[in-house]
Structure 1
Amino acid sequence: MADNIARVFADAIAADPTRPLLTWYDDATGERTELSGATLANWVAKTANLLVDELARQPGDTAAVLLPPHWQTAAVLLGCWSAKLTVTDTPGDVDVLFAAAGRVAEADTWSAGDRYALALDPFALPMRQVPAGFADFVTEVRGHGDHFTPYPRGGPGDAELLARAAARATELGLRPGDRLLVDTDRHPDPVDWLLAPLTAGASVVPCGNLDPARVRSRAANERVTSTLD
């Protein structure tokens, strides 16, 4: 069984890095953002390089990720896992914290060495006003390299997460080349909308604020083979 999330991600995009891997929708804003495997890998590498090169984070350090499902959240999570950080949502002391702009007040109750805020802008634009005590993730991450060599062994929680993801992929009947549409409001766990498709070699269409009336047409337009709603 795989025990390295970074390796699973690399394997998922190796056959064709140019194919759509993650297509994010938000029906409340009309956003549609499509990322190929190569594009997402660049964001993941930049995030991992930010953590390792700039912050000197070490394997086993902790990261709080106070973010909703989103394509930028995928980059943050995969970047943390590539750097062998332990991702947690249990309040306490952590080494680095990533928070959505709307959760800054919640994030202030955590003790963290480094803090990054994300506006989750559809075009990944910098924040107009950065909250006090935070750095703008998009601004900071852009200056880092597009390539990161993951550690040969996974982080401390990789095996458990990947076991859950593999079981979920089996439950959903996912196979290589499949395309999964996910209602992320009902299924916010990244095992559902990120890791399960990756372990199966499938791509994913995560949808926030999903309008049920749009599911059928979206599934047809995106060539969806399975739906989790």
Structure 2
Amino acid sequence: YLIPWIDVSPELFQDPVLSRLNSSETSDLLLKCTTKVDPNKPASELFYSFYKDNHIIQNRSHNPLFFISEANEENSGLYQCVVDAKDGTIQKKSDYLDIDLCTSVSQPVLTLQHEATNLAEGDKVKFLCETQLGSLPILYSFYMDGEILGEPLAPSGRAASLLISVKAEWSGKNYSCQAENKVSRDISEPKKFPLVVSGTASMKSTTMVIWLPVSCLVGWPWLLRF
């Protein structure tokens, strides 16, 4: 009885592992493709290839590293490396590595817009919150002395506005806005809300002076006020 011969020799190299070497806080992207070679064949010549979203970005080379300087959102995606022997008879792929290169929001700038010279309760004002940097989408929130005004807004761009009626208790209080994405959040410098005059917008009036000819003023005061 003959026992069939089975090749139990170790593999030339193991499945590769793709990892990011540098911190996610830096703008550079450095990936390394690592595999273990059979110690009995240390001189084996291996080639490394890198893929992003299943498209090749670095073809067969002896370099197990892939580097992008100042990477941005466009470089986000699913990365994978492939290792193969010199003759191409053995080829192994790593698992996918999800690289998310979203950027933090910059400190928002808040401005207050209104038409009335002296604000009264009920007047309409617009709060405008803007950011220069940060991956979209960005969620904006407006605050008056730490209390949120309205609902958080998530426009498609880098600015959001809130049109709202003035309240008497806002007079002299601090107002601010916050910008937030999935990476970070930041708040604007607080500003003082203008003094709110007494009364309401509907009660505000101006003095109207009407000058009449002398012939029309018999029995009337010289100046009529309405």
Common topology (TM > 0.5)? no
Higher share of residues assigned helix: 1
Larger radius of gyration: 2
TM bucket, shorter chain: under 0.3
More strand by share: 2
Higher relative contact order (CA 8 A, sep 6+): 1
The two structures have a TM-score, normalised by structure 2, of 0.19
